[in-house]
């Protein structure tokens, strides 16, 4: 790209990014409208995750903000891409449900939309999961030695997407629809290419995470705070999955909330808005995360123990166990919070004391060097 084209692209990059964000918003609104008109339709397996992709508009908004301030920052463009493709996938799914089930044959293109929905998740979701940790926070690779991994990832994902798009048979979520572009007789080879590409992508994802950890280990100052924001957001995802397994009724909202924190944290890190608040946020997360885990463990343990006691005495379970367990949790909340908070604050205070001692020693060395008590300090022996 020559300098003139590059300068013009940079000049219009903000408009391009916000245009992509606007298109993503239009897809989200159209998907929401179609969902509202067909919410009572029995869609079978296609119902899973219905409406969840509407929340990916956050990626588009954060991507637009990043590109508007830093046009060369690849993370911003990746977020714009992620939001656009996922919102289109949400629209494609709702359009297919509406035209194939709710109002059959009212509008054309339902099968095509179901087909697009079936394979776009590879470039729209898998690719960003790999490239964001690989490029964060600078938007560039850690070193030139990582370039082969980028090419391997792109080739693997491209082959997987083509294999998924051309695999014959029924579509994934839309199991009542045949693949309109499936090539007969290529089912086994398509499955093999798809699986091989995804396995290679898992390997490159591990490499991307390792590159992020290497950056974190070698970082300092501002870059370290930026990396801590991403690590903090990523560490919220496993507990969210765990909550979804234990409490299925609230699992989806909790997981979606954790996913939204990821682009917001990346945006804060790259735009450096309240960058240094990460220590406070991590401290509070540790306090209330540990407190919540302790209370949940105590609650379920109390319910199980009290139920066993009541069964041994009366021969049947009692709702009184729930009441007593709830009262115990209410009584333990403040004492437990105080203990957890004091433990975390004590650890933070020790770290601050060590940092303060190091700073004092550094200042002493500088003062001794800049204000020597003896001229011999400057003389070569």
Instruction: Say which residues have a Cβ less than 8 Å from residue 164's Cβ, sequence separation at least 6.
Output: 118, 119, 122, 190, 194
Residues 216 and 224 sit within 8 Å (Cβ to Cβ): yes
Q: What is the pLDDT of residue 363?
A: 45
CA angle 306, 311, 314 (to 5 degrees): 115
**For the chain, where are the alpha helices, taking DSSP H only?**
3-37, 57-69, 74-97, 110-119, 121, 127-135, 147-166, 187-218, 221-235, 237-246, 248-271, 278-314, 320-370
Set out the domains of the chain in order of their start, with CATH numbers. Answer: 3-274 (1.20.1070), 275-355 (no CATH)
Q: Which of 241-245, 288-292, 347-351 has the lowest mean pLDDT?
A: 347-351
Is the peptide bond preceding residue 260 cis, with omega within 30 degrees of 0? no
Alpha carbons 115 and 103: distance in angstroms, whole number: 18
Concatenated DSSP letters for 359-374? HHHHHHHHHHHHS-SS
Mean pLDDT of 43-50: 60
Q: Which one, of 31, 95, 86, 76, lies nearest residue 56 by Cα? A: 86
Q: Is residue 120's pLDDT more than 80?
A: yes
Q: What is the pLDDT of residue 353?
A: 45
> Token pair of 306, please?
């009290």
Mean pLDDT of 32-55: 73
Alpha carbons 79 and 267: distance in angstroms, whole number: 10
Alpha carbons 269 and 345: distance in angstroms, whole number: 24
Q: Is residue 231's pLDDT more than 90?
A: no
Alpha carbons 190 and 195: distance in angstroms, whole number: 8
* pLDDT tens for each residue of 79-92: 999 999 999 999 99
Q: Which one, of 85, 82, 106, lies nearest residue 95 by Cα? A: 106
10 Å CB burial of residue 237 (0-12, 13-18, 19+) is middle
Average pLDDT, the chain: 78
Residue 372: CB atoms within 10 A of its CB come to 11
Alpha carbons 295 and 342: distance in angstroms, whole number: 17
* pLDDT tens for each residue of 149-195: 999 999 999 999 999 999 999 998 888 889 999 999 888 999 999 99
Alpha carbons 297 and 295: distance in angstroms, whole number: 5
Alpha carbons 268 and 162: distance in angstroms, whole number: 36
* pLDDT tens for each residue of 265-296: 888 888 876 555 555 555 555 555 555 666 66
**Three-state secondary structure call for residue 326:** helix
Long-range contacts of 332-338 (CB under 8 A, 24+ apart): 332/295, 332/298, 333/291, 333/295, 336/291, 336/294, 336/295, 337/287, 337/291
Compute and round to an integer the Cα radius of gyration of the chain.
27
Instruction: Say which residues have a Cβ less than 8 Å from residue 218's Cβ, sequence separation at least 6.
Output: none
Q: Which of 83-87, 138-142, 161-165, 222-226 has the lowest mean pLDDT?
A: 222-226
Q: What is the pLDDT of residue 285?
A: 55
Q: Which one, of 213, 21, 240, 238, lies nearest residue 136 by Cα? A: 213
Residue 236: CB atoms within 10 A of its CB come to 18
């Amino acid at each position: 790209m020559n300098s003139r084209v590059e300068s013009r692209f940079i000049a219009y990059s903000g408009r391009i990014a916000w245009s992509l964000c606007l298109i993503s918003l239009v897809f989200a609104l159209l998907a929401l409208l179609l969902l509202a008109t067909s919410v009572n339709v029995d869609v079978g397996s296609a119902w899973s995750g219905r409406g969840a992709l509407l929340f990916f508009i956050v990626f588009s908004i954060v991507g637009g903000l990043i590109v508007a301030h830093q046009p060369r920052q690849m993370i911003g463009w990746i977020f714009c891409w992620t939001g656009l493709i996922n919102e289109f996938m949400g629209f494609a799914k709702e359009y297919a449900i509406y035209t194939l089930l709710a109002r059959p044959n009212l509008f054309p293109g339902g099968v095509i939309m179901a087909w697009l929905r079936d394979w776009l998740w590879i470039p729209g979701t898998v690719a960003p999961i790999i490239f964001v940790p690989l490029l964060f926070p600078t938007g560039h690779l850690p070193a030139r030695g990582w370039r082969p991994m980028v090419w391997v990832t792109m080739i693997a994902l491209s082959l997987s997407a083509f294999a998924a798009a051309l695999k014959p048979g029924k579509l994934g979520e839309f199991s009542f629809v045949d693949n309109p572009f499936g090539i007969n007789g290529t089912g086994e080879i398509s499955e093999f290419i798809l699986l091989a590409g995804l396995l290679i992508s898992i390997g490159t994802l591990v490499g991307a995470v390792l590159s992020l950890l290497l950056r974190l280990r070698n970082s300092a100052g501002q870059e370290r705070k930026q990396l801590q924001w991403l690590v903090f957001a990523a560490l919220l995802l496993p507990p969210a999955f765990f909550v979804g397994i234990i409490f299925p009724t609230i699992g989806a909202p909790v997981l979606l909330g954790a996913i939204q924190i990821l682009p917001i944290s990346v945006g804060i890190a790259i735009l450096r808005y309240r960058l240094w608040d990460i220590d406070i946020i991590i401290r509070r997360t540790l306090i209330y995360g540990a407190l919540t885990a302790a209370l949940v463990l105590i609650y379920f343990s109390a319910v199980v123990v009290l139920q066993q006691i009541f069964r041994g005495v009366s021969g049947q379970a009692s709702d009184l166990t729930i009441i007593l367990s709830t009262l115990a949790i209410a009584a333990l909340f403040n004492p437990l919070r105080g203990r957890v908070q004091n433990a975390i604050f004590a650890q933070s205070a020790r770290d601050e004391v060590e940092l303060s001692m190091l700073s004092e020693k550094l200042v002493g060395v500088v003062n001794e060097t800049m204000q020597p008590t003896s001229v011999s300090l400057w003389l070569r022996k």
